[in-house]
Amino acid sequence: MKPAKLHYWILGCFSMVLCCGCTSEKFLLSDSHPHAWEKLYLAHHWPVTVCKMSANDCQDPPEYWTIHGLWPNRGEECNRTWHFNVTEIKDLMSDMRCYWPDVLHSSQNCTHFWRHEWEKHGTCAATLQILNSQKKYFGKALELYQHLDLNSSLLKAGIKPGSTYYQMTAIKEALTSFYGVTLKIQCLPPEEGEKAQTIGQIEFCFSKKLELRNCTESTGGSERMQADLELGTGELSVCDDTLPTYYPSQVQSHK
C-alpha cells in the first residue's frame, strides 16, 4: 500500500473508532437505556417503625432519622464487577455508623448493608462524576443528609415522636414550607385494630445537579426498593392524607 493511501486508511479507521465511541456514549446516556436515570432519592427511614415492621430482633433502634439509601430512580446493579470495598470509606466510618446504620441488625457489622446499597444503587449513581467512587457516593449521601437535617426540621415544626397523632397534611405542609419542595412520605398502613398509619420513610428528590426537586409519584420509582430491608410484617406505601399518623418513640404496637 502506498504511503498516501496508508495515511488515509489510518485516518479513516481512527475516525470510525471515534464515531463508534460517540455512538456508544450516546447510547449509554439515552433515556431508553435501562441504566439511565433522571433523579436521585435520598431516603430517610424512622428506625422505630422499621423495627416494628421487621421480623428481625431490633435492639435499641436510634430515635432519630437515619439514611436508608441514595437511589437513582432507574437501574439496579449497573456494574456487577465493581464490588464494595470497606477500606475505601474508612475515613467516613464514624459518620456511617451513626447516620447510616443497619437498623435491622444493630448487633452486627453494617458492612453487609452498605455493600448492598453500593452494589445495587451506588454502581448506578456512579455514572455521575460527583458520585463515581465509593467514597464519593457514601460521602455525598452523608453530606446531603447533614445539610437537610430532617430531624431538626421536624422538631422546629413541633413534630416529634410520642403518643400524639398528627395529620399527614400538616406534616407535608410543614416540610414543604421548610424545604420549598414536595417530599415523598411513606407510612405503614394500620393493622387490624389500629386507627392510625405509622410514619416510616421520608424521601427527598434531587436532580443530577444535586438540587432539590419535587418528588412525583411515578412507576419504577422507589416503591420497588422496599425489599432493601427484607421487612417481614408489612410494607410501606405512600401515606394516606385522610388517616391520623403515628410517629412512634419506641417499638411497640399503638392501638
What was the pLDDT predicted at 108?
62
Q: Looking at this protein, which amino acid is placed at residue 8? A: Y
Q: Looking at this protein, which amino acid is placed at residue 80? A: R
Catalytic residue among 45, 68, 119, 203: 68
What was the pLDDT predicted at 221?
41
Answer yes or no: are the C-beta atoms of 35 and 75 closer than 8 Å: yes
CA 221/CA 39 separation, integer angstroms: 10
Q: What domains can be seen in the chain, in order of their start residue?
A: 39-246 (3.90.730.10)
Instruction: Please give the DSSP secondary-structure letter assigned to residue 92.
Output: G
What was the pLDDT predicted at 23?
30
What was the pLDDT predicted at 235?
87
What was the pLDDT predicted at 250?
80
Count of beta carbons in the 10 Å neighbourhood of residue 109 = 11
Catalytic residue among 121, 223, 230, 235: 121
The full DSSP string for 98-123 is: HHS--GGGTTS-THHHHHHHIIIIIH
Q: Which residues contact 91 (CB under 8 A, 6 or more apart)?
A: 135
Q: Is 35 one of the annotated active-site residues of the chain?
A: no
Answer yes or no: are the C-beta atoms of 228 and 68 closer than 8 Å: yes
Q: Is 121 one of the annotated active-site residues of the chain?
A: yes
Catalytic residue among 117, 194, 217, 254: 117
What was the pLDDT predicted at 252?
59
CA 60/CA 42 separation, integer angstroms: 24
What was the pLDDT predicted at 148?
98
DSSP element (H, E) containing 21: helix 3-29
Partners of 233 in the β-ladder? none
Q: Pairing between strand 184-188 and 212-213? A: unpaired
Buried b (16+ CB within 10 A) or exposed e, 66-84: bbbbbbbbbbeebeeeeeb
This prediction has a pTM of 0.81
User: pLDDT tens digits for the chain (255 residues)?
Assistant: 554 444 444 444 433 333 333 333 333 444 546 568 999 999 999 999 998 887 666 778 999 999 999 999 998 999 999 999 999 999 999 999 999 999 987 656 779 999 999 999 999 999 999 999 999 999 999 999 999 999 999 999 999 999 889 999 999 999 999 999 999 999 999 988 889 999 999 999 999 999 999 997 554 444 444 444 444 446 899 999 999 999 999 865 444
CA 190/CA 23 separation, integer angstroms: 51
Answer yes or no: are the C-beta atoms of 183 and 204 closer than 8 Å: yes
Q: Is 112 one of the annotated active-site residues of the chain?
A: no
